[in-house]
Structure 1
Amino acid sequence: MTAKKSCPISAAHKRLMDCHAMWHAVADDYMKPENVRMHLNSLIQGMRNVTFMLQKQKSTLPGFEEWYTEFQAAAKSNPLMRWSVNSRNRIVKESDLELLSEAKVRWIGDWVRKQERNFTFPPRMPSQAILATIFSDPGNPQMGVVTISRRWVDKALPDREILSATREVFINLSTLIATAHNAASPEKCGLAAREPACVTSALATEPLACMDINPGWLQEHFDLEAGRGIEEVAYLVEQTPENCRKSQKRYGSAVNIEGNPIEVAPRIMEQAGKTLMRDKKHVPIIWFFRDNVVVDSMVPIFFNQNGKYLTMHRVADRVESLHANGIIFLNEAWYAKDEKLDKDGQIIPPRDRGRDRCEALHVLVATESGKYASLVTPFTRTIFGKIILGESIIDSGTGLDNDGQFNLLRPVIDRWGKE
């Protein structure tokens, strides 16, 4: 048995792992102002200590002057890195950061109508009181869904929430430590994991899934028409060897979903057809891609139309958290072969068409670069329940359609800043 090699830059690497743990401490105590202040002070100083520890070892690191000088130049031009350094100096030499508690309010009327505004409120003001204050004006929307997100910001960086800002600094430092580690020794180090379990010696150059900057527990949702709150519930399904074995036995070998999302979509549709014929139904599934690699997936559940609006905006939040630049959405849908208009000249959705609608598997794909694809496979059921798949209809290109089939992904597309 070969012993694990020790870390060649253990002091700096351990400080980086400290920062990971401290970031979660800030997130876990987000609703406790004094704890946020305490943990944030520790995190800001800890991030600065990462570079201090690395500089102390520069004589043992090959090519240090070259790659560290590049890092310094990039850091000087990065507003977040400058804020991090200035904040550390303020904390050590002057006082705490001047934190402001904000409420970010998002109103969703439908796929197209939405608004977002930031308000400053006392940090412990109940959400119901915030909602009452905002919507006391009768001119404000009285229908749709409202989401209130709690936010802490530093007065010196008013446009960035602190979890988001410090996570970006952490990623930059992790990339630097990865460069240093590789320069000293390309082999993995033996630094042990610690609490929480996600704090390992792995060096991330992209956002970690555990560092969610839009967590559900910091948001509250209200259905204005129903006059009640909407509870957001998430379940983690562990992918164990036993679950994989059962899945392979029932559905066959898993489809390879790594690659360009546009090219992956037909493979997903093929597998979805096999699953539908086996189970007679298919749950909706969303895959999040970053640079052609799947970084997360989820099974959304829609109880009503307002719930669907809310869920897809939360999907857009997840895209932002993961820095995802591609998404695939598979679901069962109603499908119509032609268009019909109501008395006001609006297209009647297939779900409201009655007998001339049919069932279909639908795969929607969108990328941040502006590539889109839609795959529709109609199907019918015999009197004995057997599934008969029809011919797939494939539409792909760089422009969005006008018939609304991409409305489900509209919150994601808008978050990417595309028209």
Structure 2
Amino acid sequence: MTSDAVQPCPVADAHRRLMDCHTQWHTLHGSYLDPDEFRLNLNSLVPNLRNVTWLLQKQKAVIPDFANWYPAFQDACKKSEIMGWVVKSRNRITKEADLELLSSCQVIWTKNWLERVEGIATFPPRMSTPEIVHSLRHSNTPPVGLITVRRRWVDKALPSWELLAATAEAYSWLSQILWKAHEAFGVDRCDLADRSVECVTSALCSTLIRLPCMDLAQSELQAHFTMSGGVVNEQIERLDSNPTILKAAGERYGELEFPRSGPIENVPGFMKMARTMMERDGYHHTIAFLYNGERGVGTRGMQFEDQNAKMLAFESLADLVESTRADGIVIISESWFAAQTEKEKELDTFFFPARDRLDRTEGLTVHAATRDGRQMELVSMVQRGPNGEAICGEPVDLTVMGANTLAPIRRKWDDMQKRGL
């Protein structure tokens, strides 16, 4: 785009309608536990999503180069399960009948990084997630691992998509095409006023990235618990860069060279940066960098008090991979290592976790993986000085081992492939 100044919106009718859809989406979320209200709000939202493109097409005569770039969007929509569903659903709602909604509850048992079982349970639509959790805790659920409960409304015509996720996906498609229209006019920021709901602004996305507020709202409809330890909360936060934080980092660590290539190529640079921070602070938080090609699409910090919370954090990270369309990821973290004993080798399948062993050693790891199957992992073993200070050794390539923590990410990529994302 050619200008940073605020300018009149070139496609105001379509843009306002998209902002209406954003507001309606949150109203739909708020009515999730009331079947009649949910149906009513969905019947209002879906036609409005369809109307955004109609309002845009009404201005095609004045939109620069419209005939060249808009047909590509139409072709992509024809191949999209979600956008095809929006078109058909609008016609059903306005001309035939309500969508055929089904209410279910997804129950996921995560025993460990590699063993995960999903099932569908039936509960009354007005039964809240905490009430479902209470019911499950008093049933014959597995005694170990993590249990996740997710409420789900689906349309019979779109069974693989939960409806909040489906409509959020459609919103992303429309936001992208309106961004393209603004770009055609050379408008970077338009003058449409923000709404009373804080997150409903005129901001648009140039790529298929779902809004953070929609991801957060959907996470409120799920709960996680263990049979022994009670509720497990998600511990993942967005790390936005700002000049104040960057300045403080420069003063503390010196001039850090942030890697600026693809995830695999960035591993050595991230390791160099992580070693500097580890030796300065004596620890390193777990941080994930999400990529689409060579473009960064998100940075997330994760904290976990135990193994269940760690598995949950990476499952949440996998959901962000889908919403940001990330096809590559880099994880920086501290790790424990331990060699398998002779007894454990005899037992073959048994291995006592390194985190619980007295002979464990400490390492700093940088692991990258991409959707097309590439990966790289460097490990710097950490020695502790007399006062606990960290001394990082030269990095070693452990790519051949892989990291189980990225299993949720790989499952998500497989699922996205099946759904055409």
Partner of 1:188: 188
Matches within 5 A, 1:288-367: 288-336=290-338, 341-342=343-344, 344-345=347-348, 346-355=350-359, 357-367=360-370
Partner of 2:151: 150
Q: Does 1:278 align with 2:274?
A: no
The one-letter amino acid of 1:217's match is E
The one-letter amino acid of 1:148's match is V
The one-letter amino acid of 2:9's match is C
The one-letter amino acid of 1:181's match is H
Q: For residue 124 of structure 1, report the CA deviation from its aligned partner.
A: 1.7
Partner of 1:12: 14
1:234–1:330 distance in 2 versus 1, CA, 3 Å: closer
Matches within 5 A, 1:64-75: 64-75=66-77
SS of 2:309's equivalent in the other structure is helix
Contact 2:238 2:298 in 1 (8 A): no
Q: Does 1:368 align with 2:371?
A: yes
Note the alpha carbon deviations across 1:367-410, whole angstroms, 9 max, x for none: 111011111101212213333221210234xxx63xxx511111
Indicate the larger mover: 197-206 or 125-134: 125-134
Contact 2:129 2:150 in 1 (8 A): no
| Coordinate RMSD, CA, aligned | 2.9
Distance in 2 (alpha carbons) for counterparts of 1:89 and 1:234: 40
1:124–1:117 distance in 2 versus 1, CA, 3 Å: same
Q: For residue 76 of structure 1, report the CA deviation from its aligned partner.
A: 3.5
Contact 2:381 2:395 in 1 (8 A): yes
The one-letter amino acid of 1:105's match is V
Matches within 5 A, 1:87-98: 87-98=89-100
Among residues 392, 404, 408, which one is paired with 2:395 in the alignment? 392
Partner of 2:222: 219
Q: For residue 129 of structure 1, report the CA deviation from its aligned partner.
A: 5.6
Partner of 2:419: none
Matches within 5 A, 1:22-171: 22-127=24-129, 130=132, 138=140, 141-171=142-172
Note the alpha carbon deviations across 1:44-93, whole angstroms, 9 max, x for none: 12112112212222222344344444433443343322221222223223
Distance in 2 (alpha carbons) for counterparts of 1:235 and 1:314: 10
The one-letter amino acid of 1:144's match is G
Contact 2:168 2:210 in 1 (8 A): no
The one-letter amino acid of 2:53's match is T
The one-letter amino acid of 2:102's match is L
Contact 1:364 1:406 in 2 (8 A): yes
Distance in 2 (alpha carbons) for counterparts of 1:73 and 1:302: 44
TM score, norm. by length of structure 1: 0.86
Note the alpha carbon deviations across 1:240-259, whole angstroms, 9 max, x for none: 43333222211123432432
SS of 1:314's equivalent in the other structure is helix
The one-letter amino acid of 1:369's match is D
Distance in 1 (alpha carbons) for counterparts of 2:365 and 2:77: 44
Q: Does 1:409 align with 2:406?
A: yes
Indicate the larger mover: 66-75 or 14-23: 66-75
1:348–1:153 distance in 2 versus 1, CA, 3 Å: same
Contact 1:288 1:319 in 2 (8 A): yes
In structure 2, the gaps of 5 or more residues are 416-421
Indicate the larger mover: 190-199 or 154-163: 190-199
Contact 1:341 1:348 in 2 (8 A): no
The one-letter amino acid of 1:187's match is V
Contact 1:104 1:149 in 2 (8 A): yes
Contact 2:318 2:408 in 1 (8 A): yes
Distance in 2 (alpha carbons) for counterparts of 1:172 and 1:189: 19
1:176–1:314 distance in 2 versus 1, CA, 3 Å: closer
How many residues are treated as equivalent by the alignment? 408
TM score, norm. by length of structure 2: 0.86
Q: Does 1:378 align with 2:381?
A: yes
SS of 1:59's equivalent in the other structure is coil
RCO comparison, higher one (Cα < 8 Å, 6+): 2
Distance in 2 (alpha carbons) for counterparts of 1:364 and 1:70: 36
Contact 1:373 1:395 in 2 (8 A): yes
Partner of 2:176: 175
Q: For residue 320 of structure 1, report the CA deviation from its aligned partner.
A: 2.1
In structure 1, the gaps of 5 or more residues are none
Contact 1:193 1:201 in 2 (8 A): no
The one-letter amino acid of 1:8's match is P
Q: For residue 109 of structure 1, report the CA deviation from its aligned partner.
A: 0.8
Contact 2:236 2:301 in 1 (8 A): no
Q: For residue 330 of structure 1, report the CA deviation from its aligned partner.
A: 1.2
Indicate the larger mover: 23-32 or 290-299: 23-32
Distance in 1 (alpha carbons) for counterparts of 2:343 and 2:317: 30
Among residues 254, 257, 260, which one is paired with 1:258 in the alignment? 260
